[in-house]
Structure 1
Amino acid sequence: MLLRAFLNQSVSYTLAGLYTLLWILPCVRSKTPDVDVMCIYSEDCILPCSFTPTDDAVVIQWYQQEKLIYSFRQDEEEPDDSSMSLFTDEVSKGNASLLLKDSSVQSRGRYKCVINATNAVKESFVILKVEAPISRISIEASATGQLQCSSHGLYPSPLLTWSTDPSTGNLQSRTRMSADSNGLYSVESTLQKVNKSSPITYICTVTSKYSSQSWKASLLQTEMVGKNGQELVIPCMAPKNLKNFTLTWTFTKKNKNKDILTYHSQTHKVMNQWEEEAELDLDKAQSGDGSLYLDDNEVSRHAGKYTCTFSGPRVTYIVQTSVTVSASSAAAQKEQSNSKLWVLAVVVAALAVLGVLYYLYRKYGGNPKASEEDTEMQAVKGKTEELPAEIRPLNGKGDS
């Protein structure tokens, strides 16, 4: 009897355990591997999540760092949230993806999607990264002989490096990183120029951490001397293999900047504001030769700093050329100006003499009658008036 009772009890426990196990198995949480997603700062972003469709209503929950941020029941209306939403029309098809609107630096982190069905719970995880990519990089030279390179509005903090062409070895630079109220970084770096007699191209490279995106800005500074009577050609060559670029030329004199022209390689269009003074060779420009051709009149007017800038995908290449006029050329131009003044003075004097002669001709040579009358008047004035004898005065003695 005791044995039978023990066996019956054991069977009862076994059956209870089996029933419990069968009840628990459908409710076991299933997990999927983490999914990495990269979002662009200030743009909308989709966090993927899917499940096997069922006839029963499901509850979809999204967590960020274990904090519930969104919950939706299939048979209810979607919550009114301006920052995130589901694709409710596709939930019945098994799409539980979350749409994040206007992503920010604070959007990054680990997200969990939980699908609560009648007999199952499914979890999936998304690792979200946010990147504010490089959109612009600038390089310029200061009056103190230093170079400055900068880029702004980046996330995460980028890497900035300097190099030269040709290579000059050790470079002395100072780089500063700062973040604004939105968590976006600005990087600024200052480099001391190398003392070399030959021209050197300085290259600043900014690289992002997530996508290994790199932008380059280069600066080459040169000098040239112009001569009067000779065409002035300021050279500027694009980097190798640069396609779809924009070329701009500007002129600086006495701290005043003037736009010269802009050329677009895709459209072959030129906007020239110095049409009568400067031009490009369009055939050469298409292949990357952006040399500027200036007229040969009064070269001294063209003295100043010319900046040529090639802008392409992730590349900015700048050539600054300081143009001066040789002393002999300036003296020759001054002598030429003085000669022009002497010629002008002689012409004015000749015109004055001709004017006087013409006046005299009109007055005397062109009116003979008037000349005769003047002559007669002068003759009358020249005679001595003599009284008749009858009225001569007596000499004081009596008549004899």
Structure 2
Amino acid sequence: MFTTMFQLIRNLILLGLLELTVGDETVTCFYSKECVLPCQSSYHDVIHWHNGPWIAHSFYNGADQLAHQNASYKGRTALFTDQISTGNISLILRGVRIEDSGKYKCYSSISSHSNEAFVNVNVKAPIQSVDIKFTDKTITCSTNKIYPKQTISWNIDGSPKEENSEDNQHLFSLTSSLPIQPDQKNLSYICYFRSGDGQVTYRASLMQDKTEINSGETATIRCPDSQGETGHFNLILTFDDSSEVLSYNGQTSLPINKKWKDADVKLTPEGKITLHNLDSAKHAGIYTCERKTAQSRQIMRTSVQFNSDVNIIAIIVGIVCVAVLVIITAVICIKYKVCKGGKGPEVAEMEGLNN
């Protein structure tokens, strides 16, 4: 019985009396990028792509037919026209928007047969970068132009203040500010961005350090370590948030040696940065080492201070004090002739009168 029914359905399909429907596919498209909605069919005289009630693209009579295309898709769709004859009727969607999400129907037909396939499109705008910084009494973590909306959490207990907004393109901006005490600025702060299911999608960290050296000595700048990430990463060292000292893109061979403001800078294969022949007039300040991957941004800020000037001042003060003492001692010796048993001027005068 089942065999007979299967044969009947097959014959009806072959005769074009039943419409052939293919199971759904799911595609993730990224905001502002190009995305391909896959569809294959042997029937390609007439092709229609729909998103709900709206026509995204039509093709028949051997050419695109866009008179009834929804205005939101104007100039953003295309087919692989050179591959239609081989069955590829996939839709190219350019400049993807958040509202492009939905269930698309790929309809194709010839005179006696038709085919339908469905593609579920999810649009995402992943985090591109996160700004993490200290303000007056808080540490702030923020990002913008993301979709869907996410949440922010911290590795430090506290009561963060959160702000979020949505722009006219349905993209979200998120900010979380965590109150801190002045003596807590040397801790390592990490903020986590989490999707609706609780998965961490991005992490950002900030830590501060301090080192004191003498003029002409070598300073070692700490850079963030890998936190288990794999794949490509970038490393950049900046001075006082403006001047780039060194950069590494994960593909450059190590070690890296370069000159910067008359100092010798070296990045070792172990990821350690050393600065040689430093001078307090040129090189005192804040060095920021940033390690960035597709899912993280880690920042280490190191304050390099020189104690050589303090030592020199102390030495000069010491020399001046010794010189003053020597001068005072010499004056006393001359005046009173105490040094080496000499006579004072009063004694010499009395002896002259007696003679």
The TM-score normalised by the length of structure 1 is: 0.63
| 1:188 maps onto 2:162 in alignment | no
Answer whether contact 1:221 1:320 (CA < 8 A) is retained. Answer: yes
Structure 1, residues 206-248: CA drift from partner, whole Å, max 9, x if none? Answer: 245599672222111233444x467352440431366754433
Q: Shift of residue 201 of structure 1?
A: 0.8
Structure 1's unaligned 5+ residue stretches are: 1-20, 342-400
1:249 to 226, 232, 237: 237
Give the Cα separation in 1 of the matches to 2:314 and 2:258. Answer: 36
Determine the structure 1 residue equivalent to 2:46.
Answer: 59
Determine the structure 1 residue equivalent to 2:144.
Answer: 152
Write the letter of the residue equivalent to 1:158.
Q
| 1:71 maps onto 2:58 in alignment | yes
Q: Shift of residue 122 of structure 1?
A: 2.2
Answer whether contact 1:26 1:119 (CA < 8 A) is retained. Answer: yes
Write the letter of the residue equivalent to 1:99.
I
Structure 1, residues 279-326: CA drift from partner, whole Å, max 9, x if none? Answer: 33x4xx32122344453x6x4775543322233443322122334556
More strand by share: 2
Write the letter of the residue equivalent to 1:187.
L
Write the letter of the residue equivalent to 2:29.
C
| 1:333 maps onto 2:312 in alignment | yes
Q: Shift of residue 192 of structure 1?
A: 1.7
| 1:239 maps onto 2:225 in alignment | yes
Write the letter of the residue equivalent to 2:222.
C
1:49 to 39, 43, 47: 39
Distance 1:51 1:66, change over 3 A: same
Answer whether contact 1:249 1:308 (CA < 8 A) is retained. Answer: yes
2:296 to 307, 315, 334: 315
Answer whether contact 1:247 1:290 (CA < 8 A) is retained. Answer: no
Give the Cα separation in 1 of the matches to 2:39 and 2:198. Answer: 24
Give the Cα separation in 2 of the matches to 1:45 and 1:51. Answer: 19
| Equivalent residues in 2 for 1:233-312, closer than 5 Å | 233-240=219-226, 244-252=232-240, 257-259=241-243, 261-264=245-248, 265-267=250-252, 268=254, 269-270=256-257, 272-274=259-261, 276-277=262-263, 279-280=265-266, 282=267, 285-293=268-276, 295=278, 299=280, 302-312=283-293
Give secondary structure in 2 for the equivalent of 1:35: strand
Structure 1, residues 235-272: CA drift from partner, whole Å, max 9, x if none? Answer: 404313667544333333xxxx5526113253244554
Determine the structure 2 residue equivalent to 1:110.
Answer: 103
The TM-score normalised by the length of structure 2 is: 0.70
- Tell which structure's C-alpha radius of gyration is larger: 1
1:202 to 170, 183, 189: 189
Give secondary structure in 1 for the equivalent of 2:290: strand
| 1:100 maps onto 2:93 in alignment | yes
Distance 1:337 1:314, change over 3 A: farther
Q: Shift of residue 46 of structure 1?
A: 1.6
Give the Cα separation in 2 of the matches to 1:337 and 1:278. Answer: 30
